């Protein structure tokens, strides 16, 4: 019997030498076995070993493809990319926005004021903080209970606190099939199983959710109803109402991620089911990634559990960050910066639509990112590699897929991070690549 490790090593050597460049489709396993004179079972073990090493990616219904090298894959979406044009990070910042925020620091010039902001604070922040944030988050039909508002050190900490409070190792949590990558990593560390629930153009499918919960109970669900990351869609009003009814009927708790909700005019899901939804939000997208403040709006039955997790993990926002955010909210700066970001996002979406020749779907015109379906000739890793070699960092669909190997043939373009000049240049490169095939593009 042939040693599958030896054969895997030989294929790995071909990949390293460039004989099998990124994007190459390997033959079906039976064909591979015939070519190498080995058993079909051995070929299967070779492909499994190559997948384990991260050298190939199996895509259901499409085959097995050579992956781009790690340095080219450019899916490190939580840190700056090495490429000159970074279209990975869905963040927005500018000197105009910073100019609006700068005056607040003058209030800390005196030692007494600074001393006050350096005191230790718990999850619920300084006196009056809940009322300030409740007014800020309020919308038609909903104003959060100030007593249920907690301050985390950012959006990821807010989500992690909610997950840890609701779930124990081995629990199942329903999520959209493509989701925020950090929750995939959080779930793995917490020992939680993520269960992908079907979505359509209106959002998560309540019938599919009911089926999954009925087959084996879910501990909770996690959704992004407004400006979904990465798809950019927003759940329709009808779907929000249907989901809220289902939460009431089943008693399920839902974590609603509102990180991009400020780019949408839709009422949050929590406004329809305030007793069943834990609403998490962050000032990092709204103001800037360095702000470091997230909000958790929790119903009474889980508020104390989340606060205890926050204290135990040290996941509260710093006192200084809390005071600055509260100041920007109180004087209207946060709202003014939000308006600038929405205008900027709209301009960037318009530019992308013009260059790429696409029409943004409903609710996507203010999104920081764009979900781009690729031509059949490409696969996401190969396209990401080709873009990286031309100086543009984008994110492959695989980074968002809950189920390994089941990512759609698409990439996410973060439009908000580059300068407008770099964005235009990057989009021109993307447009050119879309007209080519992996054989035409420069992939080394």
Q: How many CB atoms lie within 10 A of CB 322?
A: 20
Question: Is residue 183 within 8 Å of residue 230, measured between CB atoms?
Answer: no
Q: How far is CA 30 from CA 26, 46, 411, in A?
A: 11, 12, 30
pLDDT at res. 441: 59
Q: Tens digits of per-residue pLDDT, 282-341?
A: 999 999 888 999 999 999 999 999 999 999 999 999 999 999 999 999 999 999 999 999
Angle among Cα 161, 175, 272 to the nearest 5 degrees reads 75
How confident is the model at residue 79, as a pLDDT? 41
Q: Answer yes or no: is 444 within a domain.
A: no
Both 24 and 44 in a single domain?
yes
Domain count, the chain: 3
- pLDDT for residue 1: 47
Question: What is residue 156's predicted lDDT score, i.e. its pLDDT?
Answer: 94
pLDDT of residue 108: 81
C-alpha span between 82 and 420 (Å, rounded): 19
Strands 410-414 and 369-373: antiparallel
Check whether residue 177 and residue 289 sit in a common domain: yes
Is residue 78 located within the same domain as residue 166? no
Residue 261 and residue 235 in one domain? yes
266 and 128 in a common domain? yes
Which among 139, 180, 181, 189 has a CA at the least distance from the CA of 297?
A: 139
pLDDT of residue 22: 73
Residue 341 and residue 327 share a domain: no
> What is the rounded CA–CA span in Å between residue 330 and residue 325?
9
Q: Is the pTM of this model over 0.85?
A: no
Whether 306 maps to a domain, the answer reads: yes
Give the domain extent around 230: 122-331
Give the model's pLDDT for residue 129.
Answer: 96
- Taking 50 as the pLDDT cut, the residues of the chain under it are 1, 71-81, 443-444
The CATH code of the domain that includes 85 is 3.90.1150.10
- Is the domain of 45 the same as that of 178? no
């Amino acid at each position: 019997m042939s040693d599958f490790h030896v054969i895997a090593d030989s294929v790995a050597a071909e990949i390293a030498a460039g004989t099998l460049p990124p994007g190459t489709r390997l033959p079906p396993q039976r064909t591979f076995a015939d070519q190498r004179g080995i058993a079909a079972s051995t070929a299967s073990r070779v492909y499994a070993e190559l997948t384990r090493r991260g050298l190939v990616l199996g895509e259901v219904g499409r085959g097995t493809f050579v992956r781009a090298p790690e340095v080219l894959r450019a899916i490190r979406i939580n840190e700056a990319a090495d490429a000159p044009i970074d279209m990975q990070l869905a963040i927005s910042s500018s000197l105009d926005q910073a100019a609006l925020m700068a005056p607040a620091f003058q209030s800390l010039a005196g030692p007494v004021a600074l001393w006050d902001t350096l005191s230790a604070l718990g999850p619920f922040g300084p006196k009056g903080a809940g009322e300030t944030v409740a007014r800020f988050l309020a919308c038609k039909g909903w104003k959060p209970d100030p007593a249920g508002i907690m301050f985390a050190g950012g959006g990821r900490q807010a989500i992690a606190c909610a997950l840890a409070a609701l779930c124990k190792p081995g629990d199942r949590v329903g999520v959209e099939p493509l989701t925020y990558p950090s929750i995939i990593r959080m779930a793995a560390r917490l020992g939680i199983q993520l269960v992908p629930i079907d979505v359509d153009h209106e959002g998560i499918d309540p019938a599919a959710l009911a089926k999954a919960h009925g087959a084996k109970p879910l501990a909770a669900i996690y959704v992004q109803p407004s400006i979904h990351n990465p798809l950019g869609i927003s759940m329709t009003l009808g779907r929000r109402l249907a989901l809220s009814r289902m939460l009431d009927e089943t008693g399920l708790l839902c974590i609603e991620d509102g990180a991009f909700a400020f780019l949408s005019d839709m009422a949050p899901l929590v406004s329809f089911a305030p007793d069943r939804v834990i609403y998490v939000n962050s000032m990092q997208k709204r103001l800037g990634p360095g702000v470091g403040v997230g909000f958790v709006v929790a119903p009474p039955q889980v508020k104390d559990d989340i606060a205890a997790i926050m204290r135990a993990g040290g996941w509260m926002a710093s006192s200084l960050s809390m005071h600055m955010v509260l100041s920007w909210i109180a004087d209207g700066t946060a709202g003014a910066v939000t308006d600038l970001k929405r205008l900027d996002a709209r301009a960037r979406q318009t530019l992308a639509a013009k260059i790429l020749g696409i029409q943004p779907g409903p609710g996507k015109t203010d999104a920081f990112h764009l979900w781009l379906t690729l031509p059949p000739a490409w696969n996401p890793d190969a396209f990401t590699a080709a873009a990286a070699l031309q100086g543009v960092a984008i994110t492959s669909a695989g980074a968002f897929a809950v189920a390994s190997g089941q990512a759609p043939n698409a990439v996410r373009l973060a439009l908000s991070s580059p300068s407008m000049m770099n964005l235009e240049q990057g989009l021109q490169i993307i447009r050119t690549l879309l007209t080519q095939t992996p054989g035409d593009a420069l992939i080394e």
